[in-house]
Structure formats: structure tokens, C-alpha cells
């Protein structure tokens, strides 16, 4: 029986992949804050019951008809947008991440809080040997989301870039911003995360609980971009006046409350605000490759799959430093991969 907000361990028959699909023996799956929308039963288009999870890494163990690109035994990853329909206007314009009718892991199809998962072959990303499965998993959503948002923002080396909300997304956003060559500011609440944020690569840490973050950014000349990854619309709205002229507030966090903005900083200074949705499988491969190139790794805490409910609670209570990753029996059996 399904109860909103409750995760339960269930036994199911082993599923067979259909045409164009593969079965993956899951090794690890990160817990993204977006999973809350599945677990609470509020994600648009969700059908229940559902296995959550869209930061999945494992090995291909069965191929459906017509799958030629992937081999049994190959290590692969799956993110949130896990199969575009190929026929909607967005797809026809080559914008498959904004497909209007996608397969979404953990929403329209069962995800990775499981020993095995059926995935569309076209949704797979190849995982490089340099990354262990627990390291790679968060890069399939939290990683590609922040990496894509930053690399597509039209920024230049040396620009002042702030990352707001130092959680799963934010802690990778800080690392990507630093390694892309930006003057990197981390904005969190409280002094407790300052040391970690600086270890992750932030040049400056702003404690938004102690000072006005927008004013602090203006004292540094104003941010060319702020990657807003927190779960508060009110906190995002307060940052708008911290942008430089032509600065961009890039919304990746999905708060429940509205973002209420004054029009004036938008008009005077040509500032803008827009959203960015995760990425495609090839964007995920780029994220994994950049992480190997720059030695970027998520900071993780692992839980066995059976403890998914405790792991989810850890994330929801804001206690994770910084990403909780579930490890299956197959994942536990893996030897660490060479760095
Ligand atoms: N755009 C996309 O494609 C995409 C992809 C993945 C996730 N998301 C969304 O991004 C958001 C973050 O996901 P996550 O997995 O990183 O979550 P998370 O690990 O739980 O981190 C969320 C962070 O939000 C900040 N926060 C929480 N309450 C706040 C408040 N009242 N005011 C200001 N900041 C607050 C906290 O940072 P501090 O303690 O440092 O302030 C917290 O660490 C979620 O809404 C999720 O659904 C979007
Ligand atoms: Zn996610
Ligand atoms: Zn489409």
C-alpha cells in the first residue's frame, strides 16, 4: 500500500528489458532533493507506486531488442531525463532536455533505489574508470545540473560567480565554478559551512544568516551570475540586487514558495533570471569527464539500500555533507576503482 512520504522495501520479480531498453544491476544511487516530489507524491505526471532515484550507476546486465551501443558488463549512469520522445516540438528543435513528454527516472518509470533498474538505452551515460560508482552517481543529476547551468551561462574566466545554497547541488556548483576559472563565492546560512565551502574551492564565503548577501556581492563589484540552488524562493529573490549589470540569476533549486522580484533591478542594468533543467546523457558524460580532468568529486555519505528511508531523512533534514548515496549489494561487492 502506498503512503505519501514513506519509503518501503519491497520484493519484485526481475524485470526484462523491452525493445531499446537495458536492465542495469544498480551499484549506487544518489538521493536528490527532487526525490521528495516523488516520495511525497506531488511530481507532475507521477504514477504510483514508484521506485525513486535518478542518480544511478550500475552495470548493464541484459539488453533488449535493438540495443547495439551498449554491452553487457559496461558501467553506465542514468539521470532524471531518461528518454526523450523524439517527436515533440522541443525534441524536433534539438532541445531534448526540455522534451515535453520524457521518460523521467523515478517519476514516469522506476528509478534507482533498487537492486536493478530498466532504463532506455538512449538515456545511458558511459562512466569512466577513474570514478567509483558512489562518486559518479551524484554527478548524474546534481553534477550535470550545476555544470551545465554554469557552462551555458555565457561567462568569462575571472567573472564573479556566486553559488547559493551549499547542499548537494551547491557543493558541486562551487567546485565547478572554481575549476571553470571563476572568482567563486559560496553563499550559505550560518558559519558552520564556511570551512568546507573554502575547501571545495570558494574564494569567499558569505553567511547569509549574518549579513545581507546581495550587499556583500555588490561590495565585490556584483556577481555576473548567481547559481541559486537553495530550496527557498524568498532567499533567491533577495539575491537579485547582488548581480552586476547584465548579471544572471540562474535558478536550479526548485522551492515551493514563489520567487517575488522587484522589476527595477531587471530593467535598470539589464539583469535576468531564468531556470536550467539538469542535462542530457551526453552532458552527463561531459560532466563526468570534466570531473576526472579537474579531480572534482562529490563529498558523500553512503547508506546501504535497505536504509533508504534513513538516508532520505538525512538529506531532508539538511544533515548530509553533502550528498547521500545508497549502495546496493552489487555496489558493496565492487572493488574501488583506481584514481
Ligand atoms: N534544476 C534542476 O534540474 C534540478 C536538479 C536537481 C535538483 N534540483 C532542485 O534543487 C534544489 C536543491 O537540491 P539538492 O539536492 O541540492 O538539495 P539539498 O542537498 O537538500 O540542499 C538544499 C540546500 O538549500 C539550502 N536551503 C534550504 N533551506 C533554505 C532556506 N530557507 N533559505 C536558503 N537556503 C536554503 C540549504 O543550503 P544552506 O544550508 O547552505 O543555506 C540546503 O543545503 C531542490 O529544490 C531540488 O529539487 C533541481
Ligand atoms: Zn536530481
Ligand atoms: Zn520530446
Tens-place pLDDT, residues 148-192 = 999 999 999 999 999 999 999 999 999 999 999 999 999 999 999
Report residue 256: phi and psi, to 5°.
Answer: -80, -35
Report residue 80: phi and psi, to 5°.
Answer: -75, -55
pLDDT at 337: 53
Nearest ligand for residue 87 CA: 3
pLDDT at 3: 82
pLDDT at 8: 94
pLDDT at 296: 98
Q: Ligand 1: which atom is nearest the Cα of residue 188?
A: 40
Residue 113 has which C-alpha cell?
533505489
Give the up-direction half-sphere exposure of residue 302: CA atoms within 13 A in the CB hemisphere.
15
Ligand 1 in contact with 299 (CB < 6 A)? no
Residue 3 has which C-alpha cell?
503512503
Ranges of residues in the chain with a pLDDT under 50 are 338-339
pLDDT at 1: 66
Ligand 3 centre to CA of 33 (Å) is: 25
Among 30, 31, 33, 236, which residue has the most ligand 1 atoms within 8 Å of its CB, making it the best to mutate? 33
Nearest ligand for residue 90 CA: 3
136: helix, strand or coil: helix
Report residue 249: phi and psi, to 5°.
Answer: -95, 110
Neighbours of ion ligand 3 (CB under 5 A): 84-85, 88, 91, 99
Q: Which of 249, 220, 219, 218 is nearest to 235 (CA)?
A: 249
Amino acid at each position: 500500500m502506498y503512503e505519501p512520504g514513506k519509503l518501503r522495501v519491497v520484493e519484485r520479480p526481475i524485470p526484462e528489458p523491452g525493445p531499446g531498453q537495458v536492465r542495469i544491476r544498480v551499484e549506487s544511487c544518489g538521493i536528490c532533493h527532487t526525490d521528495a516530489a516523488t516520495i511525497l507524491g506531488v511530481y507532475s505526471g507521477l504514477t504510483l507506486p514508484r521506485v525513486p532515484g535518478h542518480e544511478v550507476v550500475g552495470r548493464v546486465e541484459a539488453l533488449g531488442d535493438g540495443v547495439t551501443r551498449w554491452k553487457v558488463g559496461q558501467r553506465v549512469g542514468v539521470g532524471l531525463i531518461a528518454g526523450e520522445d523524439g517527436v515533440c516540438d522541443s525534441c524536433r528543435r534539438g532541445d531534448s532536455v526540455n522534451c515535453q513528454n520524457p521518460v523521467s527516472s523515478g517519476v514516469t518509470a522506476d528509478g534507482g533505489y533498487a537492486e536493478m533498474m530498466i532504463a532506455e538505452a538512449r538515456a545511458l551515460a558511459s562512466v569512466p574508470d577513474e570514478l567509483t560508482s558512489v562518486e559518479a552517481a551524484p554527478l548524474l543529476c546534481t553534477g550535470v545540473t550545476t555544470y551545465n547551468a554554469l557552462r551555458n551561462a555565457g561567462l568569462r574566466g575571472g567573472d564573479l560567480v556566486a553559488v547559493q545554497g551549499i547542499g548537494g547541488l551547491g557543493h558541486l556548483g562551487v567546485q565547478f565554478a572554481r575549476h571553470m576559472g571563476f572568482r567563486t563565492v559560496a553563499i550559505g546560512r550560518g558559519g558552520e559551512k564556511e570551512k568546507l565551502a573554502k575547501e571545495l574551492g570558494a574564494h569567499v564565503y558569505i553567511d547569509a544568516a549574518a549579513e545581507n548577501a546581495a550587499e556583500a556581492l555588490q561590495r565585490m563589484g556584483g556577481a555576473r551570475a548567481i547559481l541559486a540552488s537553495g530550496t527557498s524562493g524568498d532567499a533567491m529573490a533577495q539575491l537579485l540586487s547582488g548581480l552586476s549589470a547584465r548579471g544572471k540569476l540562474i535558478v536550479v533549486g526548485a522551492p515551493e514558495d514563489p520567487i517575488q522580484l522587484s522589476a527595477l533591478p531587471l530593467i535598470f542594468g539589464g539583469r535576468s533570471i531564468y531556470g536550467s533543467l539538469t542535462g542530457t546523457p551526453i552532458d552527463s558524460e561531459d560532466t563526468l569527464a570534466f570531473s576526472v580532468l579537474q579531480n572534482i568529486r562529490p563529498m558523500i555519505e553512503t547508506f546501504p539500500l535497505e536504509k533508504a528511508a534513513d538516508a532520505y531523512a538525512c538529506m531532508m533534514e539538511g544533515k548530509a555533507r553533502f550528498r547521500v548515496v545508497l549502495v546496493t549489494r552489487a555496489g558493496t561487492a565492487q572493488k574501488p576503482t583506481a584514481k
